Amino acid sequence: MSADLVNIAQLALNGMATGAIYALVALGLVITYKATEVLNFAHGDVLMASAFVAWGLIVGLGLPFWLAAVLTVAFAAVLSWQIDARVMRRIVGQPQFAGVMLTIAIAFMVRGLVSMFFGPESRTYPTPWSQQTTHLGPVVVADLNLVILSVAMMLTAGLYMFLRRTALGVAIQAASQNQLAAYLSGIRVKRVTSLVWALAGAVSGACGLLLAPIALVDISLWIVVLKALAALVLGGFGSIPGAILGGLLLGMIEQFAGVYLPDGSKDIAAYVVLIAVLVLWPRGLLGEAHGRRV
């Protein structure tokens, strides 16, 4: 293989590794969006909070990684469940804007609380895969990135099957399409909605757990949610496979933009993609086509 091809393959793989994180975050966003039509701006902050909790458990208390991982995911799930059950439920039926504002408010509160409890310093913690790399032919990849990629794939497949094949999954879909009708056919809409939030929270918890060793545990970790939005738009808003595809593609776009385009374009690539896709092609790659109802 020529050096150029190896270079491109390496970049693509790096891009997919970053993209897998965007995909995972986007996955959490899209679940809540599909079920409740709330775009959860607090998602990134739940992620950030779980990264801090994981740090507290692993470094602070000295727990083994797997126990800490389970506790962290549980923490994120319970936090998200509570956010829905105590706060978000009250604004059901109000315009979409209210949901945006309320999740931003929750995001601010979570961010404020975390920085009050843990302080502004960045930190890091070890995982079983830190500092290890795998050679795939001439291409090198960090083990942690492979883990993230496979977790993203497994979660997507699992969620897809769950929503399509199980009774609870179908109930979630029903509740997302018409709350009143779902309620009248015996679905406990409130509980189902909270469950979806908990599910999304668990995904973001897992994401925070895996992202933190790469990007440092820091308050600014929430910014990944903006990249995830771009991924979501690229893949098609409201589509679960689209979230994964968009995430992986966006990661690669960023990598290639960083190498082949002028200095600084890596930082803005995601936002350029977001604007361009929304303005020129709002359906995205795998989005459902929606007509406009007058």
Partner 1 sequence: MRFDYDTSYHDGKRLLRYPSQWLAYGLLVAGLLIAPWVLPSYYVGELNYLFILSIASLGLMVLSGYTGQVSLGHSAFVAVGAYAHAWLLAQGVPFAASLLLAAAISGLVGLALGMPAIRVSGLYLAMVTLAFAILIEHVIGRWKSVTGGYNGMPVDPPVLFGADLSDLTSFYYLCLAVLAVVLVMLVNLMRGRTGRAFVGVRDSEAAAASLGIWVAGHKVLAFVISAAVTGLAGALLAHHVQYLTPEGFNLLLSLELVLMVTIGGLGSLRGAVLGAFLIGMVPALISQVKPLLGERIARQFGLEIFFFGLILAAFVLFEPKGLNGRWLKIRAFFQTFPLYRKDVFRRGKSYMKSERYR
What is the C-alpha to C-alpha distance for residues 262 and 165, in angstroms, rounded to an integer? Answer: 47
| 1, 37, 136, 260: residue in contact with partner 1 (rule CB under 8 A) | 37
289 is a contact residue toward partner 1 (CB under 8 A): no
Q: Which is nearer to partner 1, 249 or 270 (CB)?
A: 270
Binding string, 155-184, against partner 1, x = CB under 8 A?
----------------------xxxx----
Among 4, 167, 186, 279, binds partner 1 (CB under 8 A): 279
By CB under 8 A, tell whether 196 contacts partner 1: no
- Considering only 21-29, 50-58, 60-68, 107-115, which stretch makes contact with partner 1 by CB under 8 A? 107-115
Decide if 16 contacts 244 (C-beta within 8 A): no
Q: Is residue 91 a contact residue for partner 1 (CB under 8 A)?
A: yes
Please, are residues 172 and 197 in contact by the beta-carbon 8 Å criterion?
no
- Binding part of the chain for partner 1, among 20-28, 62-70, 115-123, 246-254 by CB under 8 A, reads 115-123
Q: Does 230 bind partner 1 (CB under 8 A)?
A: yes
Give the interface size with partner 1 as a residue count (CB under 8 A): 57
Stretch that binds partner 1, among 143-151, 199-207, 223-231, 244-252 (CB under 8 A): 223-231
Q: Is residue 237 a contact residue for partner 1 (CB under 8 A)?
A: yes
Nearer to partner 1, 114 or 146 (CB): 114
CA 185, distance to chain mean position in Å, is 32
Count the Cβ atoms, other than its own, within 10 Å of residue 93: 7
Residue 283 φ/ψ, nearest 5 degrees: -70, -25
Among 69, 211, 274, 286, binds partner 1 (CB under 8 A): 274
Radius of gyration of the chain (CA): 19
CB closer to partner 1 out of 1 and 288 = 288
- 220 binds partner 1 per the rule CB under 8 A: no
Q: Are 276 and 233 in contact (CB under 8 A)?
A: no
**185 forms part of the interface with partner 1 (CB under 8 A):** no
φ, ψ for residue 166 (rounded to 5)? -95, 160
291 lies in the binding site for partner 1 (CB under 8 A): yes
- Residue with Cβ nearer partner 1 (11 or 109): 109
Point out which residues bind partner 1 (CB under 8 A): 36-37, 39, 87, 90-98, 100-102, 104-116, 119-120, 177-180, 226, 229-230, 233, 237-238, 264, 267-268, 270-272, 274-275, 278-279, 282, 290-294
